């Protein structure tokens, strides 16, 4: 594991399994949430006696918290190479809140336009756009990759009407990375901006919002701290400052105004007008520590180590008879460490349950909040979907997902492969065993 394991708090925690024994937990559910860096918890503990209200007090501790909050903003911009003269970073709760906020702000800027999203989006980068805009979905190939040619077709079809292309940086189902700078150049060529849902990309790859030419710039970026080794409760929305200064903010309240009288309101400038209520300085301190540690390891090192892990796991898993790996399981270079699969004849819920209860391996199963993508990959018909709605087709279709972080090891993969081989070979034992299905999301 190249020593990265020691960066993680609780990497070797023991958990109970079915037979009453305790085993060292294996966490292959990093795409949902990562465990914290030790440095993150240390920084939070160090700062705990000092935290106080941000932008709201004259006491020493308030001034300290306010200064730290503002310097964190610059550090976050610097982490993704966004010029602070042009861009601002707004602290929010998570990626979902960031994308909802952006849809509100975007509506203030462009009322009657077309938004291009894609079939491979997480619901968080799909649903917030639907109620305000005409949304079209860029198609995917048979292997589940984004069809860039379909993007261009739609940009031409709606010439001048598409104002935003909103796309995931990496899929939380197949792990595919999208060519975000190529998409940016195409979008800009046809007069649209680009938003990247960075939730799955940010812990695995460096992100450069201003790479070579302005045509390739990323206009908006959203991500969550809890997927990059800091705790829940902090997310970031980055975008051009002026895009957040039209109309009213989505959340209104303390900290958002220049002046309020009984009769009128003058909203403050961005980012302040977009951060209603007392900000989460502890969460921002945690995010800052996570960024510092990621950079100390270097995103290039993380990317190459995780590619090795993914290639190793993909090669082994696709050789297990009766396991179907979704997407193109051969490539590893344009993917983050995510592998989704099913065992023939066993429901995904049972496989996930068996891995957890019998071997202490945590994975995720279901539709991963990306139902349209799963429906396409599994070739579900409208009849299948009607059956799901009517509940006659229960349990629901879905997949098992394993996802890696920088601290996972080849030995852990070997254990998971052994477990999957055993489960596959003894399928008949499991069909009855774990029938208590959770709600598959």
Per annotation, catalytic residue among 105, 113, 367, 369:
369
Question: From the CB of residue 69, how many other CB atoms can be counted at a distance below 10 Å?
Answer: 19
Longest dimension (CA), the chain: 72
* Among residues 34, 65, 96, 365, the one that binds ligand PMP under rule CB under 6 A: 96
Rank residues 140 and 343 by Cβ distance to ligand PMP and give the closer one.
140
Cβ distance 282 to 51 under 8 Å?
A: yes
Stretch of 121-129, 267-275, 291-299, 334-342 contacting ligand PMP, by CB under 6 A:
121-129
Rank residues 95 and 365 by Cβ distance to ligand PMP and give the closer one.
95
Least distance from C-beta 199 to ligand PMP, angstroms? 4
Q: Is 100 left (phi over 0), alpha (psi -120 to 50) or beta?
A: alpha
Site string for ligand PMP, 249-278 (x = CB under 6 A): ------------------------------
Stretch of 118-126, 154-162, 205-213, 262-270 contacting ligand PMP, by CB under 6 A:
118-126
Number of residues lying near ligand PMP (CB under 6 A): 14
Q: Clarify whether 369 is annotated catalytic.
A: yes
Rank residues 120 and 317 by Cβ distance to ligand PMP and give the closer one.
120
Please report whether residue 125 would count as binding ligand PMP according to CB under 6 A. yes
Stretch of 92-100, 103-111, 144-152, 188-196 contacting ligand PMP, by CB under 6 A:
92-100
Residues 6+ positions from 175 with CB-CB distance below 8 Å:
200, 310, 327, 335, 336, 337, 338, 339, 403
Backbone angles phi, psi at 189, to 5 degrees: -55, -35
* Among residues 29, 43, 150, 197, the one that binds ligand PMP under rule CB under 6 A: 197
* Among residues 34, 95, 187, 307, the one that binds ligand PMP under rule CB under 6 A: 95
Helices (H), 322-365: 348-354
Cβ distance 275 to 254 under 8 Å?
A: no
CA distance 104 to 113: 13
Residues 6+ positions from 165 with CB-CB distance below 8 Å:
115, 116, 138, 151, 155, 183, 186, 187, 192, 193, 194, 195
Residues interacting with ligand PMP, by CB under 6 A?
94-96, 122, 124-125, 168, 172, 197, 199-200, 224, 226, 369
């Amino acid at each position: 594991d190249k020593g990265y394991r020691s960066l993680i708090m609780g990497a070797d925690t023991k958990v109970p399994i079915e037979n009453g024994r305790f085993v060292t937990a294996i966490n292959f559910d990093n795409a949902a949430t990562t465990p914290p860096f030790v440095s993150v918890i240390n920084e939070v503990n160090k700062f705990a006696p000092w935290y106080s209200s941000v932008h709201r007090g004259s006491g020493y501790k308030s001034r300290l918290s306010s200064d730290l909050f503002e310097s964190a903003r610059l550090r976050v911009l610097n982490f993704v190479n966004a010029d602070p003269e042009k861009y601002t970073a707004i602290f929010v709760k998570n990626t979902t809140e960031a994308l909802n906020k952006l849809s509100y702000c975007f509506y203030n800027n462009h009322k009657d336009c077309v938004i291009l999203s894609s079939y491979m989006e997480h619901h968080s980068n799909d649903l917030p756009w639907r109620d305000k805009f005409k949304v079209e979905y860029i198609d995917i190939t048979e292997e589940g990759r984004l069809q860039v040619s379909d993007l261009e077709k739609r940009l031409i079809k709606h010439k001048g009407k598409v104002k935003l292309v909103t796309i995931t940086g990496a899929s939380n189902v197949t792990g595919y990375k999208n060519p975000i700078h190529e998409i940016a150049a195409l979008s800009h060529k046809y007069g649209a901006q680009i938003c990247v849902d960075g939730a799955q990309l940010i812990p695995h790859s460096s992100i450069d919002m201003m790479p070579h030419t302005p045509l390739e710039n990323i206009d908006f970026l959203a991500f969550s701290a809890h997927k990059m080794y800091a705790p829940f409760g902090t997310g970031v929305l980055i975008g051009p400052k002026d895009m957040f200064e039209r109309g009213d903010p989505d959340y209104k309240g303390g900290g958002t105004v220049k002046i309020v009288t009984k009769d009128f309101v003058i909203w403050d400038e961005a980012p302040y007008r977009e951060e209603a209520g007392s900000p989460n300085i502890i969460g921002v301190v945690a995010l800052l520590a996570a960024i510092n540690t990621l950079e100390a390891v270097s995103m290039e090192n993380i990317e190459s180590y995780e590619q090795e892990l993914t290639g190793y796991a993909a090669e082994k898993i696709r050789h297990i008879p009766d396991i179907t790996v979704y997407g193109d399981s051969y490539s590893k270079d344009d993917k983050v460490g995510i592998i989704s699969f099913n065992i023939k004849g066993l429901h995904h819920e049972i496989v996930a349950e068996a891995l957890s209860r019998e071997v202490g391996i945590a994975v995720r199963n279901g539709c991963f909040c990306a139902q349209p993508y799963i429906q396409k990959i599994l070739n579900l018909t409208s009849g299948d979907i009607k059956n799901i709605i009517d509940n006659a087709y229960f349990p629901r279709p879905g997949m098992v997902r394993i996802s890696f972080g920088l601290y996972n090891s080849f030995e852990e993969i070997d254990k998971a492969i052994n477990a999957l081989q055993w489960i596959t070979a003894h399928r008949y034992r499991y069909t009855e065993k774990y029938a208590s299905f959770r709600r598959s999301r």
